[in-house]
Every structure is written in structure tokens, then in C-alpha cells.
Amino acid sequence: MAERATAFRQVRGGGGTRFGRPIDLVHLAAQSLGDKSLEEEVLRAFDVAVGVYMDRVRSARDRDGLQERLRLLKAVAGGVGAWPLHDLAAMAEAEVAAGYSMCPEDFDDLAFTVAEVQAFVTDLLGDDGDRAALTIGHDL
């Protein structure tokens, strides 16, 4: 069990990423075809979605629900190139699928990584952090 916890924290990596940032901006630019306004729109939607998905991960009532919610968190992170969050969610998803339970520290690590990504988005966009201004669909 201690090995698993250590591996989980190593993936989180203390704020470092494969590319030195919480979001791979080259990947994001490729996903948005270099359109800066589309990049901003995607980042704003991602900022809201990642918070919603993290709340859903925390509120999961059973193993299947938790695994599904982790998969969604992983997918939304991968879509914009938030690799540290993607990798952490992927590891948690695999561990839940293998029958392990997530301990409170695992949830905290995910939440901390989500907060890092959201802070990066806020800094990048120069927002005041008002996420409520964005209207998104109910199908998140």
C-alpha cells in the first residue's frame, strides 16, 4: 500500500510537468488549429469542466461511478494537454479498476492538481477568477 501511495505522488510530481507547465500550450494550439480566440474559449470551458468533474469524483458513491468520473476527468485534461492532471487521473482510474480504494490524500492530490491547472488558466487568460460568467451545457 505504501508503494502505491508513493507512486501516486510521484505522478503528481510536485507541480512539475512533462513540459514545465500545467498545460502543454503546444498541444492546446494544435487542438485549436492555432486560433487564439478558440484557445481561450476552450480554456474557459475546460476551467469550468475540470472543477465540475473534480466535484463529481469526490461525490462518487461506488467503484464504477468513481472509475467513470476519473475517466472523464482524464479525458478533459488530455484534451487540452493538462498532462499532470491527465496522468494522475489515469493512474487513479487504473488503481480503482484494479480494486484499490482512493485514500483521502489521493483525492487531495487530484484536487491540488486541478487547482494548479485552474490557477494557470486564470493567469493565462488574465481572468479575475469569475468562472460563473461562463454558461455551459448540462451534459458535462
Rounded Cα distance, 39 and 63, in Å:
34
Give CA angle at 105 (85, 96), nearest 5°: 65
**pLDDT tens-digit profile of 65-84?**
999 999 999 999 999 999 99
C-alpha distances (whole Å) from 4 to each of 8, 12, 40, 84 are 6, 13, 37, 17
Using pLDDT thresholds of 50, 70 and 90, give the confidence band for residue 18. Answer: low
Rounded Cα distance, 61 and 68, in Å:
11
Residues above pLDDT 90, as percent of the chain: 74
pTM to 2 decimals?
0.79
CA dihedral 80, 83, 84, 86 (to 10 degrees): 80
Average pLDDT over residues 98-112: 95
Pick the more confident residue, 91 or 12: 91
The residues, any chain, with a CB within 8 Å of residue 75's CB and separated by 6 or more, are: none
Does residue 2 surpass a pLDDT of 90? no
Phi, psi of 76 (to 5 degrees): -65, -35
**pLDDT tens-digit profile of 24-56?**
999 999 999 999 999 999 999 999 999 999 999
Rounded Cα distance, 51 and 121, in Å:
12
